Amino acid sequence: MDDSLIVIDNLVKRYGDHTILDNINLEVKTGQALVVIGPSGSGKSTLLRCIAALEPIQRGSIRIDGKLAAKGVENAGAQPDAASLRDLRQRIGMVFQQFNLFPHLTVLENITLAPRRVRGMKRDEADALATELLRTVGLEEKRDVHPERLSGGQQQRAAIARALAMRPKIMLFDEVTSALDPELVGEVLRTMRQLAEQGMTMLVVTHEMGFARDVADDVIFMDQGKIVERASPDVIFENPTEARTRAFLERLLDREGRRN
């Protein structure tokens, strides 16, 4: 039994005639933290959304824990059934750019809703779990307030705690700091770094190159719906093999240099 948590084979995703993901092959092993970088429109977020089963795929397959989680609608054969899909989905946690907390529920209720309804956890058990998770993301004192009373960084940390409450085997982070004020980015990245150090398997789409350099086991560079290059951060940032990776990073660093 190998330790592959996610295996993606020849994934093709299209919207109409427009190909978003073009023959993606990707393997994520348990405990790995992978960071996906690339220009906007390169398909990074769509890739995460396909893994989270928020988007149907046209061709190829996605396996999670060795079980079929998604199959191209154009492929022959049966799709995975609804019950096993629900089961697989619980192994995936996802955090969004816009947090997507439930505005009518308190932070605690946001976190406990899925454990109680999906896992059938008792209220006090779920409350204890939520309290523990809020401590790890540093929000214990916010457990009874509504999301609108939180800063963006706090909302995002609450969203991370909510995803963790389902005890996922892998966490997907979709540009989770892009909607934050610059001074709030650090606290969210710290939480994510902490998770990676604890051995959480993560797939992170981000523009934070410092995070990619420090935390990633591998960095994946995507462009025009393809994975152009996958390598350790050292290789990607110091000596990328592909000209396209180099060009992207040079443009990015140039822009950041001018900003500073």
Binding residues for another protein, rule: CB under 8 A, are: 52-54, 86, 89-90, 92-94, 96, 98-105, 113-114, 117-118, 146-149, 155, 162-163, 166
Between 62 and 101, name the residue whose CB sits nearer to another protein. 101
Collapsed DSSP state (helix, strand, coil) of residue 247: helix
Nearer to another protein, 99 or 221 (CB): 99
Q: How far is the CB of 156 from another protein (least distance, A)?
A: 11
Which of 62, 163 has the CB closer to another protein?
A: 163
Query: Closest separation between CB of residue 227 and another protein, Å?
Result: 23
* Alpha carbons 194 and 210: distance in angstroms, whole number: 15
Distance CA 66, CA 77 (A): 17
Closer Cβ to another protein, 104 or 258, answer by number: 104
Closest CA to 203 of 222, 225, 180, 228: 222
| Residues 6+ away with beta carbon under 8 Å from 186 | none
Q: How far is the CB of 54 from another protein (least distance, A)?
A: 6
Alpha carbons within 13 angstroms on the beta-carbon side of residue 52 total 21
Which single residue is written with the structure tokens 């092993």?
29
Nearest-approach distance from CB 111 to another protein, in angstroms: 10
Task: Give 106's contacts (C-beta < 8 A, 6+ positions apart).
Answer: 143, 144, 145, 146
Contact 53, 93 (CB under 8 A): no
Q: Which is nearer to another protein, 101 or 219 (CB)?
A: 101
| Minimum distance from residue 250 beta carbon to another protein (Å) | 34
Nearer Cβ to another protein (158/219): 158
Pair type for strands 4-15 and 59-64 = antiparallel
Looking at the Cβ atoms of 86 and 122, the one nearer to another protein is: 86
CB of 15 to another protein, least distance (A): 16
Rounded Cα distance, 225 and 43, in Å: 5
- Cβ at position 154, least distance to another protein in Å: 12
Q: Burial level of 6, CB count in 10 A (0-12/13-18/19+)?
A: buried
